[in-house]
């Protein structure tokens, strides 16, 4: 294999919820079901482009989702052979976790604070947000065992958490070796050595690629975008809200599902330039 690998974040980069799609979802293609309802979509054109991307053999989805959450995504024809899940903590090959990479990740995380200690601080922070919004549901705090934790906020709680409260939590966990990212209703606390770019670099090495191109919208995608040979980011998302910029990551004009379509087209152009066989 030669040339670049195309690596892309999923949520709000390639696939979109009804809230983030910026379009009437009745005109879109459903790509994820959960609890008996559709929760993610792409444009019809993006659906076709994703099929070509997967067929190229040079595309890897890169997500903070757990493997179980990732497997809910529906792909045209068949899923990509390789996927990076859990923010780089798991590399799936033909649907199974690669044991060698799992062992490598354990080694990289040895110097970070214990996950249960981080979980407790995240729970305290979102608990205060819960208390500040009378009548709101209790936020859920969940672990991806051995890797990271995240909280699912309820209605009205995110604005309370933003600002000084989030800054205090970020500063505390930074000293423990963790990065904090607030994406939509989810608050993540992820060990700094646990990166999407490290896992993608391993996929590049194994596949004999010369490097990779990348797309992403959140702070947890920064390392991926900066390490890429070429990178794009949509006209929405956490990176745009926080004012993050980097000369290596081109900001697209489109937002929502339209940006997902533009990103899919760009990725396909990277791995299969016009006129090249797919």
Residue 183 pLDDT level (bands cut at 50, 70, 90): confident
pLDDT digits 0-9 by tens, 122-140: 999 999 999 999 999 999 9
pLDDT at 34: 97
Residue 278 pLDDT level (bands cut at 50, 70, 90): very low
Mean pLDDT of 146-158: 96
Q: What is the DSSP string of 161-209?
A: HTTHHHHHHHHHHHTTTEEEEEETTEEEEEETT--HHHHHHHHHHHHT-
Q: Which residue from 238, 237, 211 is spatially nearest to 224, judged by alpha carbons? A: 211
Distance of CA 212 to the CA centre of its chain: 16
Residue 272 pLDDT level (bands cut at 50, 70, 90): confident
pLDDT digits 0-9 by tens, 20-38: 999 999 999 999 999 999 9
pLDDT, mean over the chain: 95
pLDDT digits 0-9 by tens, 202-232: 999 999 999 999 999 999 999 999 999 999 9
Mean pLDDT of 163-168: 93
pTM to 2 decimal places: 0.92
């Amino acid at each position: 294999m030669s040339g670049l690998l195309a690596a892309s974040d999923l949520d709000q980069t390639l696939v979109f919820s009804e809230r983030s799609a910026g379009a009437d979802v009745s005109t879109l293609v459903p790509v994820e079901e959960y609890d008996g309802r559709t929760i993610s979509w792409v444009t019809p054109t993006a659906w076709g482009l994703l099929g070509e991307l997967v067929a190229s053999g040079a595309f890897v989805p890169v997500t903070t989702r757990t493997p179980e959450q990732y497997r809910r995504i529906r792909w045209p024809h068949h899923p990509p052979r390789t996927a990076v899940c859990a923010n780089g903590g798991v590399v799936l090959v033909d649907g199974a976790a690669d044991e060698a990479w799992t062992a490598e990740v354990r080694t990289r995380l040895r110097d970070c604070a214990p996950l249960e200690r981080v979980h407790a601080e995240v729970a305290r922070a979102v608990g205060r947000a819960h208390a500040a919004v009378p009548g709101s549901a209790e936020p859920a705090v969940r672990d991806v065992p051995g890797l990271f934790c995240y909280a699912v906020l309820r209605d009205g709680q995110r604005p309370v958490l933003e600002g000084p409260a989030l800054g205090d939590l970020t500063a505390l966990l930074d000293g423990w070796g963790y990065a904090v990212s607030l994406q939509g209703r989810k608050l993540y606390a992820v060990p700094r050595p646990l990166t999407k770019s490290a896992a993608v670099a391993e996929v590049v090495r194994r596949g004999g690629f010369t490097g990779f191109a990348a797309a992403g919208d959140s702070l947890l995608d920064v390392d991926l975008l900066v390490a890429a040979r070429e990178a794009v980011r949509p006209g929405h998302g956490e990176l745009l809200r926080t004012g993050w910029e980097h000369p290596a990551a081109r900001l697209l004009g489109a937002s929502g599902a339209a940006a997902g379509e533009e990103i899919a087209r760009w990725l396909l152009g990277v791995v299969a330039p016009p006129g090249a066989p797919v």
